[in-house]
Amino acid sequence: MSQPRYIYPFEEGDGRDKMRLGGKGANLCTMMQIGLDVPPGFVITTDACLAYLDAQALPPGLMAEVRASVAALERKTGKGFGNAANPLLVSVRSGSAMSMPGMMDTILNLGLNPATLQGLIAQTGNPRFAYDAWRRFVQLFGKIAMGVPDDAFDAAMVTLKKKTGATQDVDLSADALSMLADDFLALYVAHTGSPFPADPYEQLELAIAAVFRSWNGKRAIDYRRQFRITPAMANGTAVNVCTMVFGNMGEDSATGVGFTRNPATGENAIYGEYLTNAQGEDVVAGIRTPKPIAAMAQEMPDLHSQLVALRDRLEAHYHEVQDFEFTIEKGRLYCLQTRNGKMNARAMVRTSVEMAQEGLVTMAQALLRINPMLLEQLLVPTLAPGHARKALAQGLPASPGAASGRIVFDADTAEQRAKEGEKVILVREETKPEDIHGFFAAEGILTSRGGKTSHAAVVARGMGKPCVSGCEAIHIDVRARHAEVGGTVLREGDIITLDGTTGNVYPGKIPTVEAEFFPELVTLLEWADANARLRVKANADTPADAVRARKYGAKGIGLARTERMFNDPARLPIVQEMILADTPEARKSALDRLLPIQRGDFKGIFTAMAGLPVTVRLLDPPMHEFLPTAAQLEYEISHLRTLPRMGRSIADLPETLRLIDPELPRDYVDSLGKLGQSLAEYRESKRDDAALVRREAMLKKVHQLTEVNPMLGHRGVRLGMTYPEIYEMQIRAIMEAAAECMLEGIDARPEIMVPQVATAEELKRVRAIVDAVRAEIEQRHGVRLHFNFGSMVEVVRACLRAARLAEIAEFFSFGTNDLSQATFSFSREDAENKFLPFYIETGILRDNPFEVLDIYGVGELMKLAVEWGRAARPDLEIGICGEHGGHPDSVRFCHDIGLDYVSCSAPRVPIARLAAAQAKLRVTGAKAAA
């Protein structure tokens, strides 16, 4: 068997074979083959690299192939490798299938030695240029091929500049550079213990081996681990040997880098920088300040138009924005590298739309080229670019966006200060459902505990407010009303800035820039809707949320949680009264007061969503969530109990104190007297008794309601079964709101959804309430109500009994948060606080199932439920309303298993819209390819 071919000249390599040629090599081949001006060269494959690493030696025959390839270069260029009269110089460049900054740098000007150096001087008549090339080569070869430390070279350069009075590299004369090169050579010998190799082939062989070794260098290995680059993505590095072209041959020479379009704005104009009379990395290294490419139109108009032509050819070929390197040697433009340009989200969107409009890409390509998660950046406020503030601490980026405000340590203070017109940031160890009014009031939320799916994170994301969670460096002392981070003390009222996109917390105020739906984003999302099968709805609990959901393009509300309305501080006392009620009558009286409030809420949402469906979920959480904790109540009760005793002691206090100090000042005694008196008044009015009685009753109820596993306890439809009057009130509120809307000509489209359903009988009983209330309201208002009745599917049994449930439910909505907990038998909080991080770090689980839908387990149950549900009711509408509904991979899965819609928090709606289009386009694309 003949040995594999290790070398491909740029004219022959297959540009699609990035695994073998590396990204840089593959594109050099392509550019050469489509007729762009690329200096001749060849690629040594990654196979050769792997063979070298395996055997710790260059594979047999490789150097013979290298010599033959160099000979071919000599023929193409008319120069000779090591030929003093007309020397061929090359660069040796690494390049794997994935771009990896951790890898080896490039050696330029290889082939120089004392003889070819003199040849170069004679040939160019430019000794300064030649010595400049020589000293660069000695340094690069020494550092990269032989590991001579950079500092040694840099120090020599600094000394020389001092000696000659030069401030910049370009100020150095030919003589100075010649001296520098001699210093460098001495350093080389001192560090390597051997003379600098003069034979160009020896230089080349050492350089190739060094590039191969760099694949297993620490930097490269760390980088691959960090970015999870597997051997399937990139295995070994290729080596590109490329004829040198010189941007440092005078004022008609230059080197530069460019983007075919502006990577920050997407504007369709060539963007980049160049330096005249410079080589290689001078532009990036910042040795001199480069000029914008626009300046070239004046300075070198002919070359500027050549550059524009190059840009057009690159885009026409790659159908993608390119990031390229070029060098101009004595008025001739060469392209040295190209790759797909990395852009920010805004530029991705604008270039997608414009390239499609220009006919450069199809609409499908325009939609597929954007990672949906990128859109998140566009829809939230961001910190004004260019701020130079240093972060105080970093937590988890739990909900994107940026905000500044004054620190408050509890929800009540947040609400109060916000009412006074202040911007506040709620800072807590962790948040609870009863903090909800604080979320409404705050600009952003910071917690010192909890993960990306903690209560704070989920609620903040739902409201589209920035949140940094789990910021463990911050120590909060709520009683003392201050927090401490790394020696800095933050007091209530101090201003901080949060960046929920990065997790950073800054002291003071940093200006932010608002997000906007710019025209290209609107167009792109319209295209997405036109190409998607899945509809995207939003989870929204208030009329304000609903308005925002519409703005983000939601096709309805897939989940309106009624309990969020219960938590409003004006209503909570009534809700508590309902819970504390001992008789059905007492409960009824509280419910009667809640009814008009809920009806108003629903009317608001239906109006904001007129013409689109609104799925209202009946009450779901366990009752105790609306009551204070037992610990809090016990604390308050013990204080109230000490009051009578305290009153007596204060009355006695002046006497007691006089025993110690007969001279006790008069006003001191008076004020103690006043205090005693007002305590006595409280006692007389029995207000302390009333407060005590209320709390004791509440505590009793809290004890009664205590459950070992509240999430698996008395909640959801189970509440509806035991306290049917609560569900009845909610159903009535929904229907009355719908009826009133109808009479006012508003197209309300309610859907009633029952949570936690496990058996058909539960659903049947709620349905019976629905039917009774409906009949009554239709008669009273003289209207015919149109609505759907359906079930959440979030209990394992519901999946298994889907056929039976579908006989009663007109729609299903997967509650994948609870369904994931139930399928894994993990309680989310415990899992995330205790073992889940370990599971993910050690690879027992690949992802957090509460962030990324587990399609293998939970997904199988969903598939069953879809299949069995539709078998019983072919037009069963099926959606998902868990947090997962806004995650692109989950959206794709939902498309694949045939759901009708996904519902997610409003800010995620655009992400889901794009993901839904991509899901369908990928399936169509795969079919077309098959």
**How large is the angle between the packed helices 150-164 and 174-192, nearest 10 degrees?**
150
Q: Which does 818 bind (CB under 5 to 8 A by kind): Mg ion, ligand ADP, none?
A: Mg ion
Site residues for Mg ion, 436-465, by CB under 5 A, read: none
Nearer to ligand ADP, 337 or 756 (CB): 337
Residue 815 interacting partner from ligand ADP, Mg ion, none (CB closer than 5 to 8 Å by kind): Mg ion
Instruction: Decide: helix, strand or coil at residue 169.
Output: helix
How many other CB atoms are there within 10 angstroms of residue 313's CB atom?
Answer: 17
Q: Which of these segments, 368-376, 461-469, 608-616, 794-802, binds Mg ion (CB under 5 A)?
A: 794-802
Backbone phi, then psi, for 101, in 5-degree steps?
-60, -15
Q: Based on CB atoms, which residue is closest to ligand ADP, 280 or 716?
A: 280
Residues sharing a CB contact under 8 Å with residue 580, sequence separation 6 or more, in sequence order? 697, 698, 701
Segment interacting with Mg ion, rule: CB under 5 A, options 72-80, 572-580, 804-812, 817-825: 817-825
Q: Residue 281 binds what, of ligand ADP, Mg ion, none (CB under 5 to 8 Å, by partner type)?
A: ligand ADP
Give the list of residues 6+ apart from residue 272 with CB closer than 8 angstroms, or none.
256, 257, 258, 259, 292, 293
CB closer to ligand ADP, 45 vs 106 = 106
Window 244-283: residues binding Mg ion (CB under 5 A): none
Residue written as token pair 């729609």: 811
User: Which one of Mg ion, ligand ADP, none is in contact with 849 (Cβ closer than 5 to 8 A by kind)?
Assistant: none
94 vs 469, beta carbon nearer Mg ion: 94
Q: Which of 599, 591, 601 is nearest to 568 (CA)?
A: 601
| Distance (Å, whole) CA 197 – CA 113 | 8
* Candidates 140-148, 570-578, 697-705, 807-815; binding stretch for Mg ion (CB under 5 A): 807-815
Q: Report the residue count for the chain.
A: 930
Does 323 help bind Mg ion (rule: CB under 5 A)?
no
Among 94, 337, 453, 890, binds Mg ion (CB under 5 A): 337
Angle between helices 724-743 and 760-781 (to 10 degrees): 40
Q: How far is the CB of 111 from ligand ADP (least distance, A)?
A: 11
For the bound state, the minimum distance from the C-beta of residue 34 to ligand ADP, rounded and expressed in Å, comes to 19
Tokens 């390839």, residue located: 69
In the complex with ligand ADP, which residue's Cβ is closer, 9 or 628? 9
Pick the catalytic residue from 467, 881, 894, 904: 881
- Which does residue 245 bind out of ligand ADP, Mg ion, none, counting CB within 5 to 8 angstroms by kind? ligand ADP
For residue 7, list its beta bridge partners. Answer: 44
818 touching Mg ion, by CB under 5 A: yes
Tokens of 539: 């989870």
881 is known as an active-site residue: yes
Secondary structure of 579-611 in HEC code, one letter for each residue: HHCCCHHHHHHHHHHHHHHHHHHHHHHHHHCCC
Residues forming the site for ligand ADP (CB under 6 A): 39, 91, 93, 106, 108, 242-245, 280-281, 325, 327, 336-337
Binding residues among 647-676 for Mg ion as defined by CB under 5 A? none
Strand partners, 326: 256, 335
CB 91 to ligand ADP: min, Å: 3
DSSP string of 259-283, one letter each residue? ESS-TTT--SS-EEEEEES--TTHH
* Residue 496 contact among ligand ADP, Mg ion, none, beta carbon within 5 to 8 Å by kind: none
CB of 441 to Mg ion, least distance (A): 26
Pick the closer one to ligand ADP by CB: 93 or 550.
93
Closest distance of CB 284 from ligand ADP, Å: 7
- Give the shortest CB-106-to-ligand ADP separation in angstroms: 4
Chosen from Mg ion, ligand ADP, none, partner binding at 431 (C-beta under 5 to 8 Å by type):
none
User: Is 455 known to be catalytic?
Assistant: yes
Q: How far is the CB of 428 from Mg ion (least distance, A)?
A: 24
Q: How far is the CB of 242 from ligand ADP (least distance, A)?
A: 4
Taking the C-alpha atoms of residue 87 and residue 460, their distance in angstroms, rounded to an integer, is: 66
Give 144's contacts (C-beta < 8 A, 6+ positions apart). Answer: 104, 105, 106, 107, 207, 210
Closest by CA position to 287, among listed 278, 299, 296, 295: 278
Whole-angstrom CA distances from 396 to 393, 472, 574, 577, 828 are 10, 10, 37, 38, 17
Q: Which does 91 bind (CB under 5 to 8 A by kind): ligand ADP, Mg ion, none?
A: ligand ADP
For Mg ion, the closer CB: 336 or 392: 336
Identify which of residues 238 and 427 has a Cβ nearer to ligand ADP in the complex. Answer: 238
Pick one of ligand ADP, Mg ion, none as the site partner of residue 39 (Cβ within 5 to 8 A by kind). Answer: ligand ADP
Interface with Mg ion (CB under 5 A), residue from 59, 247, 444, 815: 815
Q: Is residue 889 within 8 Å of 862, Cβ to Cβ?
A: no
- Say which residues have a Cβ less than 8 Å from residue 338's Cβ, sequence separation at least 6: 27, 31, 314, 318, 322, 323, 324, 325
The angle formed by the CA atoms of residues 380, 382 and 385, to the nearest 5 degrees, is 155
Instruction: Check: CB of residue 164 under 8 Å from CB of residue 172.
Output: yes
237 binds, among ligand ADP, Mg ion, none (CB under 5 to 8 A by kind): none
Least gap, CB of 244 to ligand ADP (angstroms): 4
CB–CB of 852/889 below 8 Å?
Answer: yes
Nearer to Mg ion, 255 or 352 (CB): 255
Identity (one letter) of the amino acid at 50? L
- How far apart CA 483 and CA 708 sit, in angstroms, is 33
From 304, 437, 455, 884, the catalytic residue: 455
Binding span for Mg ion by CB under 5 A among 26-34, 517-525, 632-640, 812-820? 812-820
Residue number with CB closer to ligand ADP (245 or 891): 245
Q: CB 762 → Mg ion: shortest distance, Å?
A: 15
Give residue 894's identity as a one-letter amino acid code. Answer: C
Specify the stretch interacting with Mg ion by CB under 5 A; choose among 193-201, 334-342, 396-404, 587-595: 334-342
Encoded amino acid at 207, one letter: A
Where does this chain bind Mg ion (CB under 5 A)?
Answer: 337, 794, 815, 818
Just list the catalytic residues.
Answer: 455, 881
